[in-house]
Amino acid sequence: MSSTALATTVVKPFDPAELGFPPMLPVELAMRSASVPEICAAYNISKDEFVALTRDPLFVQAYKGAQEMLKKDGMSFKIKAKMQAEELLKESWAIIKSKDTPLVVKSDLIKATIRWAGYDSKDGGPAGAGNAFQIIVNLA
């Protein structure tokens, strides 16, 4: 009988704030603030990884969105604020998931995230046209 070693894998908890690529990458590429190799080097992205990213529908959509945003808004304060907000989602997620965060803070962040995502209702009814989607946070 032969002995076999079991492979140990660490499973990272799902974090919806992470896209699989740095959120600023599509914006920096669209802004053409530097050459593609220079931008990729700043993010430690190899040529093969970048080629794979260009085939990722989410990345392609983010890049096209960044191009459209730049055409519409130029280099405005609003674009910079959106870039910061994307990065700050990671911090918000960490605060919500922390066992040390008071429940009232978690509740406020959860409500704010729902509002930012557009799942809240502007008219007092359910979010969206006829959508009965609701999120109830029970802190008891």
Q: Please answer whether residues 16 and 90 qualify as being in contact, where contact means their C-beta atoms are separated by less than 8 angstroms.
A: no
Long-range contacts of 115-120 (CB under 8 A, 24+ apart): 116/85
Q: Is 72 left (phi over 0), alpha (psi -120 to 50) or beta?
A: alpha
State both tokens at 33.
């603030």
Q: Please answer whether residues 114 and 122 qualify as being in contact, where contact means their C-beta atoms are separated by less than 8 angstroms.
A: no
**pLDDT one-digit tens code per residue, 84-120:** 887 788 899 999 999 999 999 999 999 988 888 888 8
Report pLDDT for 3. 46
What amino acid is encoded at 100 in this protein? D
Q: What is the pTM of this model?
A: 0.48
Report pLDDT for 41. 93
**pLDDT one-digit tens code per residue, 54-77:** 999 999 999 999 888 887 765 667
Q: Would you give the DSSP letter of residue 78?
A: H
**pLDDT one-digit tens code per residue, 21-34:** 888 889 889 888 78
Report pLDDT for 17. 56
Q: Which helix (H) or strand (E) covers residue 77, if one does?
A: helix 77-97
- pLDDT band of 18, cuts 50, 70, 90: low
